[in-house]
A and B are shown apart, each in its own frame.
Chain A
Amino acid sequence: MSVGHAEAHAHHHKESFISKYIFSMDHKMIAKQYLITAIVMGIVGITLSALFRLKLGWPDTQFGILEALLGSDAAPEGVLDTNWYLWLVTMHGTIMVFFVLTGGLSGTFSNLLIPLQIGARDMASGLLNMISYWMFFLSCVLMLSSLFIQTGPASAGWTIYPPLSVLESLQPGSGLGMTLWLLSMTIFVASSLLGSINYIVTILNLRTKGMSMTRLPLTIWTFLVTAVVGLLSFPVLVSAVVLLLMDRGLDTSFYLSEITVGADALAQTGGSPVLFEHLFWFLGHPEVYIVLLPSLGIASEVISTSSRKPIFGYRAMIGSIFSIGFLSFIVWAHHMFVTGMSPFLGSLFTFTTLLIAIPSAVKVFNYLTTLWKGNIIYTPAMMFSMGLISTFITGGITGILLADSSLDISKHDTYFVVGHFHVVMGMSAILAMFAGIYHWFPKMYGRMMNRKLGYIHFWITIICGYGVFMPMHFTGEGGLPRRYYENTNFPMFDHFMDLNVLISIFAIVGVLAQIIFFWNFFYSAYRGPKASQNPWKANSLEWTTPVEHVHGNWPGALPEVHRWPYDYSKPGWDVDFVPQNIPLRPDEEEH
């Protein structure tokens, strides 16, 4: 009876196009929606960077393409306008950090993997999940719409420090463009909070039988800590944004004091832009780890699977995820060493910031030890994950200089910073996102992506990434400030001219190379060869679900978990992997 009933039930719920593809409450569909949205945002974000790199690489060349693409307001006679340059930079940062690496990364992989890897039918609340996605979508639309308004979108840098972001008379983008930015970000934060609550609740409550916390894949641990960090830090951004809106609209002066516009003294006094910096970076720094932690989680999973070897130091990994999550809250003012804050605070934040290097070092050494004596299969996902280890090392290590308040005096806001955070956060997270896509594509679409194109994509991406961001460390050492429209006004920076050309070439080639990925992705989603159930021979539960998506993930009962997810090459087994749902043998010990 029950079988018949289930069939009838399934038939009854034959979904319409709208409920299946648009207002879907199924976590797998929502994950795909997040991913596609993030890819679209990513295309916009990287294209913007290619456009301003044209100006930075060849300051004296007129690019007809800019005028053709952006209009004659933006690039009269092919020379980029200064305000347009600033908005390109601002929107590149905003889109990449929030919409691609936060919304895209967490949204896609938390949604896809949490229910599948913990053995749940779906998220705790499908409705909240759907609302979360659609708010994300709305915020993307608002953000993109600001690109098309007359005065231009927000152009005060992605950190939108007031008073520049408050006074339209000082910066045209701080008019309607900034209003849209603030609205978009508020909705984005709401979306992210709904998502975070859902992730936390789901992970804590809906684990299947036998799935104890210490049997969770590291991906889930990182998603959990990320969600908690997001939940605690994002609301602070909203409060900062609301105060900013009030300063803009209601003549309050939370952030404004003693400002003269032209010859007009503004009435607002008593506020402080430094307050905004504190509020912003209270989110802004944890944000770095909101981006980075899921990346490390994805890498852990892929590295262990592809090395056919258990992740080394599982508990130490969880420990470092927690320490990084905790420390991320008490380091924010290292972005503010030169704001004139108390030297004592500077010392304190130097200390806490450098502490983060310890759990980060533990993670790196654990990854290396996981590879040691492994049996590595180079799937595209593995290539990207190895790339992440490299960028995490290279980019992380320069952070030690920036964390040092005294050294930061000579590095702050130079290209050294740009190079550092693009390598450690931008590249690492992007590489992890690609790793995740290549790894779980069969799970998402039931098809395989083309492997060879994946390798080409990987090598061009990492070579171009390093090619763009490593030289920036040198221009930064030379004192070159970031966000300069052109560097030719200072003869002292002239010897970096060819380096800037090099950076721009790498940047443009790197951006164009992503076409390979986009093509591979969309083509494979429809035409790729059909995947088998467990293409990478992985242990975690998502590979026990059927290739064709079913509502509720497992057609029958939920799987029961008997072991941790890293039983690769376990002695006593002939195969080199033992999925989590395989019971322990009578004489077998759990790791």
Chain B
Amino acid sequence: MTGFLILIALVIGVGAIIQLVRLNEVASELSTGREQEEIGESENNILALTWPIFMVAFLGFMFWMMAKYGYGGLGPSASAHGVELDWVLQMNYWIIIPVAVICNVLLAYFAYKYRYSKDRKAAYFLHSSKLEMLWTAVPAVVLAVIIFMGLKTWRDIMIDSPNEGQPTIVEVYAKQFGWNFRLSGENNKLGQADYKLIGPATDFVDINGAKKHSNGNPLGIVTMDFIYAKYADIDNSLETVNKQLEEAKGATGEYWESEEIIDKLLTKKSNLELQKSRIKAGLELSLLDSTSNLGSDDIFLDEDLYLVVNRPVSFQFRSRDVIHSAWFPHFRAQMNCTPGTPTYFTFTPIYTTAEMRTKPEVQAHYKEINTIHNERLKSLGEEEEVVEMNFILLCNKICGAGHYNMQKNIVVVTEEEYEKWYECIDFKEANPTQPRLDVNGNPAVYEGWRSDSDESLVNHTNMATGKES
């Protein structure tokens, strides 16, 4: 139906344009250049009048949109720094909207007031140092305020907030087209990760000769098991290549396949061998010390991420393939995920998902969303559903065909709820090479936030003297 209406509108539009053009053709045959050059005073008056009319309509349109869509739908900031950010944003709006309105209104007013008149001569007003100083100095002062507010917030967000409290460490690993998380486990420390260890799921023999299965290590976590799993994967491939090369040999021992195919196989073989040696030199031999154990309690997560309210969470962002951008609109947080370069962002959720849902403006908004959403579903012939507010993570940097649909929910809960969730995650699916054991070899039980360790990201002890700084 809509398509049909558009088609009709298009046809009418095109028809109208054709008619206009014809009319004009007839008219232009009668006209001379003078007629196009000299604008009559009455015509000029009408044109002058269009400006205030336009401006009223334009500003009306803006205020209508502000009324209707000004509540963007995100609700109050759900993070601590976001509250400050929103306040600064408000302040900025209070400065820029009046300036934009005043300048536009002046434009329209002058446009009408100073329209051409034969009886008047324009002022010969060349410059005025006073005026020009005024409108260099006033914007400069206003901008100084804006810059000051902005930089203070920037400092709070980027430098100060990561240094406060004891943050939970979580990794966000982006890929085409989805998000994976890595929880830092009982030790709240992320182990090393290396992209070379990512592979397909495979069976392997570990360092002690025990048979195990790897899920493919989608995050590239560095543990001895994953290194051995990767060796197994490479060896499997090598075996296949060798077999193909063997088959390509005739009875005389010479290759009968085309040179191109043989070259490809040989390149593949040497690449695989190179890969193996790089892992050996770069990971196995150099990381045999205890740091490699940090990764063994890390938890791979391919579902909603749970966070604890009022506890800072420090994200590390990595990407597996192209640049993505982790965008948490409700938390006013965003950071690019760049392959090869980890990035960081820290924020503190201040409302649980449940609290956020009970906020009156959020409720009112989601009532509207439900109506609109279900109207659409109905028109598509799909079943209706109830939409609830969820904190969401989405991709905000063009990353390929699936860019528009990379989403994960972020669920903010209380500490008790978090513990329950932590103990119930299906770890077997997630990280099968390692049964979830704590340091003592017992099944991991989340015991809340250890009170004896009050570490923040920044060590406040002077490491040279050992004294509190």
Cβ–Cβ contact A451 & B336, under 8 A: no
* Shortest CB distance B146–A (Å): 6
Contact indicator A309/B122 (Cβ below 8 Å) = yes
Query: Across the A-B interface, how many residue pairs have beta carbons closer than 8 Å?
Result: 425
Instruction: Say whether, besides A451-B39, A488-B376, A82 and B114 are in contact (CB < 8 Å).
Output: no
Determine if B69 and A478 form an interchain contact, defined as CB atoms under 8 angstroms apart.
Answer: yes
Does B139 sit within 8 A of A, measured CB to CB?
A: yes
Cβ of A16 within 8 Å of any chain B Cβ, yes or no, is no
A41 to B382, CA, bound (A): 42
Residues of B within 8 A of A414 (CB): 396
Binds B, one of A26-34, A102-110, A523-531: A523-531
Verify if B401 is at the interface (C-beta below 8 Å from A).
yes
B430 at the interface (CB under 8 A from A): no
Does A142 interact with chain B (Cβ within 8 Å)?
no
Does chain A have a CB within 8 A of B96?
A: yes
Interface residues on A, range: 35 or more
The answer to whether A407 and B89 touch across the interface, beta carbons within 8 angstroms, is yes
Contact of B107 among A389, A456, A512, A570 (CB under 8 A): A389
Question: Is A571 located at the chain interface by the 8 A CB criterion?
Answer: yes
Query: Please, which residue of chain B has its CB at the minimum distance from the CB of A375?
Result: B122
Is B2 at the interface (CB under 8 A from chain A)? Answer: yes
Q: A464-514: which residues lie under 8 A (CB-CB) from chain B?
A: 466-467, 470-471, 474-475, 477-479, 481, 483-497, 499, 508-509, 512
In the bound assembly, the distance between CA atoms of A397 and B92 in angstroms comes to 10
Instruction: Say yes or no: is A568 at the interface (Cβ < 8 Å to chain B).
Output: yes
Q: Does B198 contact A (CB under 8 A)?
A: yes
Q: State whether B341 touches A343 (Cβ < 8 A).
A: no
> Among A274, A470, A494, which residue has its beta carbon within 8 angstroms of that of B65?
A470
The answer to whether B147 and A310 have CB atoms under 8 Å apart is no
- Contacts A377-B39, A406-B154, A471-B69 given: A485-B96 contact, CB under 8 Å? no
Q: Is B104 an interface residue (CB 8 A)?
A: yes
The reply to whether A447 and B33 form a contact with Cβ atoms under 8 Å apart is yes
User: Quick one: closest A residue to B14, CB to CB?
Assistant: A512
Q: How far is the CA of A316 from the CA of B120 in the complex (A)?
A: 27
How big is the B interface, by class? Answer: 35 or more
The answer to whether B334 touches A409, judged by C-beta atoms less than 8 angstroms apart, is yes
Assuming the contacts A339-B338, A351-B147, A491-B373, asked whether A373 and B123 have C-beta atoms less than 8 A apart, the reply is yes
Known: A377-B44, A393-B107, A459-B50. A369 touches B125 (CB 8 A): yes
Among B65, B124, B128, B390, chain A packs the most CB atoms within 10 A around the CB of B124
Contact of B110 among A269, A340, A374, A531 (CB under 8 A): A374
Is A326 among interface residues, defined by CB-CB distance under 8 A? Answer: no
Partner among A162, A350, A374 whose Cβ is within 8 Å of the Cβ of B147: A350
Q: Are A272 and B365 in contact, CB atoms less than 8 angstroms apart? A: no
Interface residue stretch chosen among A197-205, A228-236, A354-362: A354-362
Mark contacts of A23-63 with chain B using CB atoms, 8 A cut-off: 1 yes-contact digit, 0 otherwise.
00000000000000000000000000000000000101111
Chain A residues lying within 8 Å of B50, measured Cβ to Cβ, are 459
| In the assembled complex, A73 has its CB within 8 A of some CB on chain B | no
Q: Is B28 an interface residue, CB under 8 A from the partner?
A: yes
**0/1 string, A304-325, CB within 8 A of B gives 1:** 0001111011111000000000
A492 to B396, Cβ gap below 8 A? no
Residue A412 lies at the interface, judged by CB distance under 8 Å to chain B: yes
| Complex contacts, A492 vs chain B, CB 8 Å | 73, 369, 389-390, 392
Q: Which of B24, B85, B140 contacts A453 (CB 8 A)?
A: B24
Q: Quick check: B132 and A316 within 8 Å, CB to CB?
A: yes
Q: Nearest chain-A residue to B96 (Cβ)?
A: A397
Query: Which B residues touch A351, using CB under 8 A?
Result: 147, 151
Q: Closest Cβ of chain A: how far from B4's Cβ, in Å? A: 10
In Å, the complex CA distance between A377 and B334 comes to 49
Q: Which of A248-293 contact B (CB under 8 A)?
A: 256-261, 263, 265, 267, 269-274
Measured in the bound complex, the distance between the Cα atoms of B397 and A260 in whole Å is: 18
Q: Which residues of A contact B240 (CB under 8 A)?
A: none
In the complex, which of the residues A259, A484, A532 contacts B320, with contact meaning CB atoms closer than 8 Å? A259
Report the bound CA distance from A407 to B33 in whole Å. Answer: 53
Does A378 count as interface, using CB distance less than 8 angstroms?
yes
Interface assignment of B443: CB less than 8 Å from any CB of chain A:
no
Task: Tell me how far the C-beta of A138 lies from the nearest C-beta in chain B, rounded to whole angstroms.
Answer: 28
What's the Cα separation between A568 and B271 when bound, in Å?
75
In the complex, identify which listed stretch (B251-259, B295-303, B324-332) lies at the interface while the others stay far away.
Answer: B324-332
- Give 4 nearest A-B pairs by CB, closest first: A257-B340, A340-B343, A479-B329, A478-B72
A sample of 17 cross-chain residue pairs with beta-carbon separation below 8 angstroms, ordered by A number, consists of: A161-B323, A307-B122, A358-B139, A368-B110, A400-B92, A404-B88, A409-B157, A410-B85, A453-B24, A485-B401, A489-B404, A495-B69, A529-B31, A531-B33, A535-B33, A535-B36, A568-B122
A259-B195, A413-B397 are known; give 17 further A-B pairs, CB within 8 A: A62-B3, A86-B398, A258-B340, A272-B338, A273-B323, A340-B335, A347-B154, A358-B139, A374-B114, A393-B104, A459-B54, A474-B70, A477-B70, A484-B403, A494-B373, A516-B17, A516-B20
